[in-house]
Amino acid sequence: MTRLNGKTAVITGGATGIGLAAAKRFIEEGAFVFIFGRRQDALDAAVAELGPNARAVKGSVSEQSDLDRLYAAVKAERGTLDIVFANAGAGNQLPLGKITAEHIDEIFDTNVKGLIFTVQKALPLMGPGASIILTGSSAGTTGAPAFSVYSASKAAVRNLARTWAQDLKGTGIRVNVLSPGPTATELAKAALGEEGMKVFASMNPLERMADPAEIAAAAVFLASQDSSFMTASEVAVDGGLAQI
What residues are labeled active site? 150, 154
- Which of 193, 191, 208 lies closest to 150 in space, CA to CA? 191
Pairwise CA distance, residues 35 & 12, whole Å? 6
Q: Which residue, among 37, 2, 3, has the nearest Cα to 18 in the 3D structure?
A: 37
- Which long-range contacts link 89-93 to residues 24+ away (Cβ below 8 Å)? 89/13, 89/135, 89/137, 91/147, 91/149, 91/150, 91/153, 92/150, 93/146, 93/147, 93/150
Tell me how far apart the alpha carbons of residues 61 and 222 are, in angstroms, rounded to a whole number: 22
Cα dihedral across residues 222, 228, 234, 239: positive or negative = negative
Query: Could you tell me if 128 and 171 are in contact, meaning their C-beta atoms sit under 8 angstroms apart?
Result: yes
The helix/strand/coil state of 134 is: strand
